[in-house]
Amino acid sequence: MVKALAIDVGTTSVRTALVDTSGVVTHIHQRRLSVATPQPGEVELDAEEIGRTAIELAEHTLRDGGPCDVVGITNQRATTIVFDPQTGQPVGPALGWQDLRTVIDCLVLQGEGLRLAPNQSATKVKWLVAQSGRASRDLRFATIETWVTWLLTERAVHVTDRSNAGVNGLVALDVDSWDERTLALLDLDSAMMPRIVDTMAHHGLATALPGSPPITALVGDQPASLFGQSCVFKGAKITFGTGAMLDMVHREQGPVSLNRFESGCFPIVARSHQGHLTWGIEGIVLAAGSCIEWLRDDLGLVAHATETETLATSVASCDGVSFVPALSGLGTPQWDFGARGGFFGVTRGTTKAHMVRAVLEGIAHRGADLVEAAQRETGDELGELRVDGGMSANRFFVQCVADFTGLATTVSSEREATARGAGLMALVSAGHLTLEQVEELWSPAETFLPQFGEPERQTLRENWAQTVRRVEKTIPELSAIAF
């Protein structure tokens, strides 16, 4: 059977696996990455460790599972690297997507009419070049798929795909060239920029791996997860990880701007092939699984994340308690960085079971907020919602998502669908699968149907909206900041 090697570089770990034409993922190897926080708001990784780990794990997977026919690479989209092309050495740390050291730069640039967010790569590149003391024309910029491809091809190929380029803040509206005005304002030379290529294409040979297989797919993590859950021509998924990301296939025609829409969603390139772009939209919850980590690591209400389901189902309701998961502010649709999380309705009779249940329900409500924003933006009504990520293992939580969205909610059979998507894209690109066949591969592990009638659901959602308003603008100075 034809197989793809999937290399999945996430926020804190690298994962490799083999994906065959039936969509089965096997021979998984995973290793955590070192993450440093030198100062509050700063997040650094080691680019050399990322590259070394990706190659070592790829070799382990191939040794265990046999040779592959093609390679697909997927990655966290905004982690930023600047390196010297002569030595191959990074000139500084890799700046993680959560790194906020360029907030002031973003605010200053707004006065120049340039709207950038600190979690995009654009201002991170400027900072890394400035810290190096080198001319930008002598350096090269890479997001993770660019860096891993550069290493796998032994410095032969310097490219970025459109799903990654489309969200880094440096690309032109056609996602086919770099925006000259933005580069000029950031004092970046176009010589440092990778060539923009299709998501699915021949990107060179991975000569650093046994057999030198061709790299035929480069794709950002969320579009990869969307494809991995067989949302090819339509549909939406939410990945419930540290945060929660909704991605939805939308249309063939591109947007009039790459900036965020009034709905709080923003445009993405879901994939591109032979110069043809398929567009989608994305919405973000800033804190999802991180709230469960908070319950476990900081509050000590649970010893393991799996206990949350047992506790939540041990009580019949939250007994009037509600929780807004705004530990890092509110993303879609509000984008209020000054909002802060809060419990409401707590009484002397409130138990930890009520609080844990309220946290799970609050995250599920935020998932429903994403769905409503996406449907409002596109005008498309979803018939089903697909979910993956660590929280999708919690059956009580997924049932809440179904109840609050009013949609049949299906759980991916592959808990982390990102690697599956990268592998399937690589196989499609090389002609081993068709898009129609990928769409037919969807076989969920479980389906949850809404248990509430529409009037009851609407009442719950209206009450939720009132609760969210209570945490908005907790810190007015931060709420006034818009990216």
Same domain, 183 and 322: no
Report pLDDT digits (tens) over 78-105: 999 999 999 999 999 999 998 999 999 9
Tokens of 366: 């935020």
Helix (H, G, I), strand (E, B) or coil at 261: coil
Q: Which of 222, 252, 270 is the last residue of a domain?
A: 222
Mean pLDDT, range 401-416, rounded to an integer: 96
- Residues of the chain with pLDDT > 70, as a percent, come to 100
Q: pLDDT band for 254, please (50, 70, 90 cuts).
A: confident
> Ramachandran region of residue 465, left (φ > 0), alpha (ψ -120 to 50) or beta?
alpha
Q: Which burial class, exposed, middle or buried, applies to 454 when counting CB atoms under 10 A from its CB (0-12, 13-18, 19+)?
A: exposed
Strand ranges of the sheet holding 446-448, from the earlier edge strand across to the other edge: 266-273, 276-285, 244-251, 236-240, 384-388, 408-411, 446-448
Mean pLDDT of the chain, nearest integer: 96
Please calculate the CA angle 402-404-410 and round it to the nearest 5 degrees. Answer: 15
Residue 221 confidence (pLDDT): 96
> Are 130 and 169 within one domain?
yes
- 38 and 184: one domain? yes
Nearest CA to 271 out of 228, 332, 213 is that of 228
Residue 172: burial class (beta carbons within 10 Å; 0-12, 13-18, 19+) = middle
* 252 and 209 belong to one structural domain: no
- Sequence length of the chain is 483
Mean pLDDT of the 422-446 span: 97
Residue 436 lies in a domain: no
Judge if 200 and 257 occupy the same domain. Answer: no
**Same domain flag for 314 and 402:** yes
Q: Which residues contact 228 (CB under 8 A, 6 or more apart)?
A: 388, 412, 414, 417, 418, 419, 420, 421, 422, 424
pLDDT tens digits for range 442-464: 999 999 999 999 999 999 999 99
**Cβ distance 25 to 414 under 8 Å?**
yes
Asked if the model's pLDDT at residue 348 lies above 90, the reply is yes
Alpha carbon distance 170, 178 (integer Å):
6
Q: Could you tell me if residue 297 is inside a domain? A: yes
Burial of 443 from C-beta contacts in 10 A (0-12 / 13-18 / 19+)? exposed
Number of domains in the chain: 2
Q: Quick check: 416 pLDDT over 90? A: no
The two structure tokens encoding residue 41: 């708001």
Question: Does the residue 435 lie in any domain?
Answer: no
| Domain end among 206, 222, 238 | 222
pLDDT at 415: 87
368: exposed, middle or buried (C-beta count within 10 Å: 0-12, 13-18, 19+)? buried
Q: Are residues 193 and 320 in the same domain?
A: no
Is a pLDDT exceeding 90 seen at residue 25?
A: yes
CATH number at residue 164: 3.30.420.40
pLDDT digits (tens, 9 = 90+) for 356-397: 999 999 999 999 999 999 999 999 999 999 999 999 999 999
- Say if residue 438's pLDDT is above 80: yes
pLDDT by residue (tens digit) across 321-334?
999 999 999 999 99
The pLDDT of residue 252 is above 80:
no
| Alpha carbon 109 to chain centroid, angstroms | 25
Q: What is the DSSP letter of 154?
A: T
Q: Are 383 and 266 in a shared domain?
A: yes
Residue 296 shares a structural domain with residue 159: no
Q: What is the mean pLDDT of residues 282-299?
A: 96
Q: According to the model, what pLDDT value does residue 178 have?
A: 98
Residue 142: CB atoms within 10 Å: 27
The percent of residues above 90 in pLDDT, for the chain, comes to 96
Tell me: do 76 and 140 sit in the same domain: yes
Start-to-end C-alpha separation, the chain: 47
**Last residue of some domain: 222, 246, 261?**
222
What average pLDDT does range 49-74 have in this prediction?
A: 98
Is 208 among the domain residues? Answer: yes
- Structure confidence at residue 317 (pLDDT): 97
Question: Which tokens go with 284?
Answer: 């973000």
Does 215 lie in the same domain as 237?
A: no
Same domain as 258, residue 170: no
**What is the model's pTM?**
0.96
445: in domain: no
Let me know if residue 472 belongs to a domain: yes
Band (253; pLDDT cuts 50, 70, 90): confident
Range(s) of the domain holding residue 204: 3-222
Does residue 322 lie within any of the structural domains?
yes
Average pLDDT over every residue of 250-256 = 84
Instruction: Look at residue 285 and tell me if it is in a domain.
Output: yes
pLDDT digits over 300-320, tens only?
999 999 999 999 999 999 999
**Please, how many CA atoms are within 13 Å of residue 137, restricted to the half-sphere of its CB?**
2
